[in-house]
Amino acid sequence: MKYAHRIDGSEKIRLKDFKADDTRGVTREEGEREALALGEELVELQELLYAASDRSVLIVLQGRDTSGKDGTIRYLTSPLSASGCDVASFKAPVGEELTHDFLWRVHKATPGRGEMRIFNRSYYEDVLVVRVHNLVPENVWKKRYEHINNFENMLVDAGTIILKFYLHIDAEEQEERLLKREQEATKFWKLSVGDWEEREYWDSYTEAYEAVMNKCSSPQAAWYIVPANKKWFRNIAIARAIAEQLRPFKDDWLRVLETRGANELKRIKEFRSAHKT
Ligand code: AMP
Ligand code: MG
C-alpha cells in the first residue's frame, strides 16, 4: 500500500479528501522499524547515484508553516553522506534575484549529475505565497504553471529524477504546533507573528496548493500528498516514495559501475605488464 498519495496528472484532487493524521494502519513501532530499513536502502541508492553519476535527484518540499519541512530534512540528510545530498532553501527573492525571471535563481541551484538535492520551499512559492497575496498581477502568476511544467520537463530530459512532496497538516495540528513553540525556549527562534497572519489565509493556500498539484503533476514530475500530522509517519512516507522512485535505476547503476570497474581493471593490468621489468 502507498503511504503518500502520488499524483501523476490523471486525476483532479481536493485536499479535503486526504486525512492529515492518516497512518494507513501502521503502528508507530512498525513505522520506526521500517524507517531504519528504508534509511539503509536510501544510503545504498544514494551511493549508487553518486558513483554512477548519470542522473540527479531533485526533492521538492512544500507545506504550510510548521508542516515539518525542517524535520523531514533532518531525517533524510542525517544518514546520507554530506557529499551526495544537500539542501537549498528558498526565501522571498531579494536584490539581483528580483531583476530576473522567477526561475533564474532556481536553475542555478538544481542538482548536478550524481547529486541529490532537497529544496526547502521552491519555485512553487511563486504560485503559492505570490498568488495568495497578489505579489504579482494574476496574468503573471497564471502563466507560471506552464513555465514550471516546461522547466521540470527540461530537467527530466537532462537526467533529473524529480519528487515533490506536500506535507499535509490540518489547521488544528498547526495551531497546536505554533502554541507549543511558545512553551519551549529552544524553539523561540522559530516564533513569528507571520505564521499567525498566514493562518488567516488557510483556505486561499488550500486553493493555491490544489491548483499546483492539479496543474503541475505528471508521471515524471509527480506530487505526493504526505499525511504529516504524525511526524514519524511523514518521514517513512517520504522515504518510501524516494526509495520506490530510485529502486528501478539500481540495476542500471550497478551495470554502469561494473563495466567501469572492469575497464579500469583491464587498464591496471595493462599498466602493470607494461611496467614489468
Ligand atoms: P521560512 O521557510 O519560514 O524560513 O520562510 C521563508 C519565507 O519566504 C516564507 O514566508 C515564504 O513564503 C517566503 N518565500 C519563499 N519563496 C518566496 C517567493 N518566491 N516569493 C515570496 N516569498 C517567498
Ligand atoms: Mg516560517
Protein residue whose Cα sits closest to atom 23 of ligand 1: 92
Cell of 198: 498566514
Ordered per-residue pLDDT tens for the chain, 277 residues: 689 999 999 999 999 999 999 999 999 999 999 999 999 999 999 999 999 999 999 999 999 999 999 999 999 998 776 667 899 999 999 999 999 999 999 999 999 999 999 999 999 999 999 999 999 999 999 999 999 999 999 999 999 999 999 999 999 999 999 999 999 999 899 899 999 999 999 999 999 999 999 999 999 999 999 999 999 999 999 999 999 999 999 999 999 999 999 999 999 999 999 998 6
pLDDT value of residue 84: 77
Query: Does an H or E element contain 45, and which?
Result: helix 28-52
Sole residue written with cell 526509495: 243
Q: Which residues contact 85 (CB under 8 A, 6 or more apart)?
A: 46, 76, 77, 115, 116, 117, 118
Distance 62 CA to ligand 1 centre (A): 11
Distance 1 CA to ligand 1 centre (A): 34
> Of the candidates 161, 153, 166, 134, which has an alpha carbon nearest to the alpha carbon of residue 237?
166
- Compute the distance between CA of residue 82 and CA of residue 96 in angstroms, rounded to an integer: 29
Sole residue written with cell 504529516: 228
Cell of 66: 510548521
> Of the candidates 229, 206, 200, which has an alpha carbon nearest to the alpha carbon of residue 131?
206
Pocket of ligand 1 (CB under 6 A): 90-93, 121, 125-126, 129-130, 135
Q: Which of 121, 191, 196 to mutate to test the pocket of ligand 1 (most atoms within 8 A of CB)?
A: 121
CATH says 5-274 is which class? alpha beta
Domain ranges of the chain: 5-274
| pLDDT tens-digit series, residues 115-139 | 999 999 999 999 999 999 999 999 9
| pLDDT tens-digit series, residues 220-235 | 999 999 999 999 999 9
Among the bound ligands, the one closest to the CA of 193 = 2
3-state secondary structure of 152: helix
pLDDT value of residue 241: 98
